[in-house]
A and B are shown apart, each in its own frame.
Chain A
Amino acid sequence: MKLTVQDRAVHVYTGGKPFDPALPCVVFVHGALHDHSCWTLLARWCAHHGFGVLAVDLPAHGGSEGPPQPDVEALANWLLKLLDAAGVSQAALVGHSMGSLIALEATARAPQRVSRLVLMGTAYPMQVSEALLATAQADPWRAIDMVTAWSYATIAGKPSFPGPGMWLHGSNRALMRRMQAGCHDLNLFHHEFSICDRYRGGEAAMDKVACPVSCILGRADQMTPPERASDLAAALEATVHAVPAGHNMMSEAPDATLAALRAALT
C-alpha cells in the first residue's frame, strides 16, 4: 500500500490482505538497514487473525522515498503522521532494534494513540561501539558483514525465513546491502547506527508510556544483549519474553517469536 507522509511516498506492507482501518491495528517498525520484509511471517499472521497491519518501510528504505530522517525523535513524529495518513487513531506498535526506539518515542509523544507497545531486540541506551561506527564510516560493506554475523546465534536457524532453503546470514547481508546501496543521500548504515547511539530520550519517554509493554528478547542476542534491556523493561513494567535466538529473532526463531507476539498483543 502506498501512503503519503510529509509529502513523500511511503510503502507499507499490509500482510497479504488489504488494510482495514476498522480492525485493531498493528504497526511494525523495522530496524537499521532493514525494510518491511523482516516482518513477513508475523505480519501475515496478524493480517489473517483479525488485525489491520501496517509494516512500514521507513524513509529511504525499500519502497519509501528518502531522505532519511535525522534522528529517532523525527522518525517518531513521522510514524505518528503515518498513522494519520492511514486513518488510524490507535494502534499497537511493534519495533525491532532501532525500530523499538522509534516505537518507544512515538508512544511517549502520543500515549493515547498506542494500545500496546512491543519492543523486540531492544536496549536502552542502545550504545554502538566506536569500532563499529568507525568501520561503518570507512567500510560499510565490511560493517554489514560484522553486524550480520552478530545478529544470529547459529548458522542453522530453522525452519528458516520466510521459508525453507533460505540462508539467513546471506538474506540479511543482501537486504542490508540493498538498503545501503539504495540510499543516495548519505551513508545509511553509519547514519542509523549513529542515531541509535545518540538517542537519549529514553528515560523521559518511559515516564510517558501508559499502555501495556512487552519486550521480546533473544537469549543469545549479541547486538542488544538481554541484560541491556533490563532497566528499560523494569521501568516500563514490561512483560519479558525470551526467545531462543540472536538479535534477528523474527527470522531465526519465527515460531517462538510469533508465540511471544501473540501473547504481547492479547
Chain B
Amino acid sequence: MPGSSDPGFDTLALHAGATPDPATGARAVPIHLTTSFVFENSEHAASLFNMERSGHVYSRISNPTNAVLEERVAALEGGSGAIATASGQAALFLAIATLAGAGSHVVASTALYGGSHNLLHYTLRRFGIETRFVKPGDIDGWRAAIRPNTKLLFGETLGNPGLDVLDIPSVSAIAHEAGLPLLVDSTFTTPWLMKPFEHGADLVFHSATKFLSGHGTVIGGVLVDSGLFDWESSGRFPELTEPYAGFHGMVFSEESTVGAFLLRARREGLRDFGACMSPHTAWLILQGIETLPLRMARHVESTRKVVAFLAGHAMVARVGYPELEGHPSHALAQRLLPRGCGSVFSFDLKGSRKQGQAFIEALKIFSHLANVGDCRSLVIHPASTTHFRMDDAALAAAGITPGTIRLSIGLEDADDLIEDLKRALRVAQRTDA
C-alpha cells in the first residue's frame, strides 16, 4: 500500500497489520487458536528462542491474531508497537512492572479509574512501589512530586469521575525534564479522539474492553509504546539498558532502539506474569476496531444531544462534560479534544439517593451495570452501587453527590435515549426524597 504518507485512520482501522492469509486466502483475520507453533527444525527453534529470527513460539508470548491487533492499535496511535494483554488492568500493571520494582515510585493523577487507584494505592505498595497522587491540573504539583526513585508519571486522558482533561503537553514536558516517561490511559478517548503521542506521551494503554471492542463482549487491554523515549539518556532504567540475566544477558536498548520497552515487557512481563490475551478475544476486538471511526463519531454526536437535553432540564443540577463552558477543563478540551470528549459523563440529579435509585430503575433503554464504552447505553448510580458504603460527606469528598448519575451513551437513536431519560426524570421528580 505505497503512498507518500501512511494510509488514513479509517483505512488503518481496517487493514493495518493484516493481509489475506497466505495459506488459505482468507480475507478476514484468522483466529489462531493454538497454544504453540511448530519449528521447522532444531536450528529454527534455537534461532527463535535466541531472537535471531522473528516469529511465534507459544501463545502466551505472542500469537499471529494478537499480533494483528497489536500492530493495528500501534498504527492507530502512531506508536512503534504494542502488546495485547488480558485486560486493561493487566496492561497498566505490565507497563509499571516493566519499569518499576521494589523501592520505586510513581506519580499519578488523582483522577483515575477506581481499579487503577486500587492497584497503585494498595496493591503495588505491598510490593514496595509507592505512588504520590497529584491533582491532574496541578502542574507544579506534578513537578514537585518527582523523586530520585520515580519511574513514571501516569494519568488518564479524561480523568475519572469528573472528566478532567490531562494537560499532556505540560505534564509530559515535566516528565521529560526529569528523564521520565509519561504513561496515559486513553480508554475513554481512543485514538479517534486523541493520539496522546502527538502531545508528548510516551506510553499509552487501553482497556480494549470498552470502545475499541465496543460491543461489551470481551475483556482485554493493549499497551502501546511511542518508541520515542530515550531510555539510555535517561539513566533511570537499568531494566532496559543493562544486561538482563533472565534473557541471555540481553540489553534491550541495544537490541532495539525504539522497541526496548516492548521487548522487555513481552520477554519478561508476558512470559512471567502471564496475563496474555486469548486470540479469540483479539479477534473480537479487531472486529470492533474495524468500525471504531464510525462508532466514535456516532457516540460523540449522540452524547452532545443528550448533554444538551440534560443541561436544560429542571431536575438536573449539573452536567459534567468538558465541551460545556462551565467545565474546569473546557479550554484544554477545546485544544486537545477537538473531535469531542467521548461518550461517558456524569450529571447530578436535584434529589436524594432514593430519587437517584428511582431514576435508574425507571430507565428502559439504558442498562444498569458497571461498564462503559458499549454500543448499548449504560447507566450507574454511584451512591447506591460502587460507592454505597460512603455517607454523603465521604461522597462529597470524592466529587460525588447522592444524585450523581454516570452515563455511557451508546449507538441507539439519540431521540429514544432522550425520551428514556425524560421519562425516568419524571419518575424521580415524583418520588419522595
Does B associate with A? yes
A contact residues vs B (CB 8 Å cutoff): 13, 16, 35, 37, 40-41, 44-45, 48, 62-63, 145-146, 148-150, 152-156, 158-167, 169-171, 173-175, 177-178, 220, 222, 246, 254-255, 258
Q: Smallest Cβ distance from A257 to chain B, in angstroms? A: 11
Say yes or no: A35-B5 contact (C-beta < 8 A), given A48-B52, A170-B227, A174-B80: no
Say yes or no: A149-B256 contact (C-beta < 8 A), given A45-B52, A163-B266, A164-B67: no
Stretch with Cβ within 8 A of A (4 or more), from B70-78, B153-161, B363-371:
B70-78
Check B227–A171 contact: CB distance below 8 A: yes
**CB nearest to B76 among chain A residues:** A167
Give the B interface residue count (CB, 8 A): 54
Residues of A with C-beta under 8 A to B257: 35, 37, 62, 175, 178
Q: Smallest Cβ distance from B275 to chain A, in angstroms? A: 15
8 A Cβ contacts from B1-44 to A: 1-7, 12, 15-19
Residues of A with C-beta under 8 A to B17: 155-156, 167
Say yes or no: A178-B230 contact (C-beta < 8 A), given A163-B51, A165-B262: yes
CA–CA, A75 to B51, complex, Å?
A: 30
Residues of A with C-beta under 8 A to B79: 167, 170, 174
**CB nearest to A1 among chain B residues:** B254
**CB nearest to A147 among chain B residues:** B4
Check A40–B256 contact: CB distance below 8 A: yes
12 A-B contacts (beta carbon < 8 Å): A40-B255, A62-B257, A145-B5, A149-B3, A162-B259, A164-B63, A164-B70, A165-B67, A167-B79, A174-B80, A178-B227, A255-B54
Interface: B53 (CB within 8 A): yes
B7, B62, B67: most-surrounded residue (chain A CB, <10 A): B67
Residues of A with C-beta under 8 A to B7: 155
Check A167–B80 contact: CB distance below 8 A: yes
Check A165–B54 contact: CB distance below 8 A: no
Say yes or no: A166-B81 contact (C-beta < 8 A), given A148-B6, A156-B18: yes
Check A48–B50 contact: CB distance below 8 A: yes
Say yes or no: A41-B51 contact (C-beta < 8 A), given A156-B19, A159-B56, A165-B266: yes
Q: Smallest Cβ distance from B198 to chain A, in angstroms? A: 11
Residues of B with C-beta under 8 A to A162: 51, 54, 255-256, 259, 263
CA–CA, A63 to B233, complex, Å?
A: 10
Check A159–B75 contact: CB distance below 8 A: no
8 A Cβ contacts from B260-319 to A: 262-263, 266
Residues of B with C-beta under 8 A to A41: 51-54
Closest 7 A/B residue pairs (Cβ): A174-B227, A167-B74, A166-B81, A165-B70, A164-B62, A45-B52, A164-B67
**CB nearest to A42 among chain B residues:** B52
CA–CA, A148 to B6, complex, Å?
A: 8
CA–CA, A161 to B181, complex, Å?
A: 23
Q: Smallest Cβ distance from A39 to chain B, in angstroms? A: 10
**CB nearest to A45 among chain B residues:** B52
Interface: B428 (CB within 8 A): no
Residues of A with C-beta under 8 A to B3: 149
Residues of A with C-beta under 8 A to B53: 41, 45, 254-255, 258
Q: A48-B52, A164-B54, A166-B259 are in contact. List 19 more A-B contacts (CB 8 A).
A: A13-B254, A37-B258, A40-B255, A41-B51, A48-B50, A145-B5, A145-B6, A155-B75, A158-B67, A159-B64, A159-B67, A160-B54, A162-B263, A164-B62, A164-B70, A165-B266, A170-B75, A173-B80, A255-B53
Say yes or no: A44-B50 contact (C-beta < 8 A), given A16-B248, A222-B2: yes
Check B16–A155 contact: CB distance below 8 A: yes
Q: Smallest Cβ distance from B69 to chain A, in angstroms? A: 9
Q: Smallest Cβ distance from B377 to chain A, in angstroms? A: 33
Q: Smallest Cβ distance from B57 to chain A, in angstroms? A: 10
**CB nearest to B270 among chain A residues:** A165
Residues of B with C-beta under 8 A to A258: 53
CA–CA, A166 to B263, complex, Å?
A: 10
A145, A160, A170: most-surrounded residue (chain B CB, <10 A): A170
Check B5–A171 contact: CB distance below 8 A: no
Q: Smallest Cβ distance from A99 to chain B, in angstroms? A: 16
Residues of B with C-beta under 8 A to A145: 5-6
Check B83–A165 contact: CB distance below 8 A: yes
CA–CA, A161 to B62, complex, Å?
A: 13
Check B6–A63 contact: CB distance below 8 A: no
CA–CA, A211 to B412, complex, Å?
A: 71
